Amino acid sequence: MKMKLFFAVCAVCTAALLFSSFARRPANTISGYVHMYGNAPFSFPGFETDNGKRYTLVLDEKKSGTLTLEELESLQGQRVELHGAVRTESGAVEAGINRLKDGEFVVYSYKVIGNQ
| Structure confidence by residue, pLDDT tens digits, 28-69 | 899 999 999 988 888 899 999 999 999 999 998 888 888 888
Question: What single letter denotes the amino acid at residue 31?
Answer: S
Tell me what the pLDDT averaged over the chain comes to: 82
Nearest of 105, 102, 57 to residue 84 by alpha carbon: 105
What does the CA dihedral 31, 34, 35, 36 come to, rounded to 10 degrees?
140
Residues sharing a CB contact under 8 Å with residue 54, sequence separation 6 or more, in sequence order:
46, 47, 48, 100, 101, 102
**pTM of the predicted model as reported, rounded to 2 decimal places:** 0.69
User: What confidence score (pLDDT) does residue 45 get?
Assistant: 92
**Structural domains for the chain:** 28-115 (2.40.50.140)
Q: What are the pLDDT digits (tens) for 85-115?
A: 988 765 444 556 778 888 899 999 999 997 7
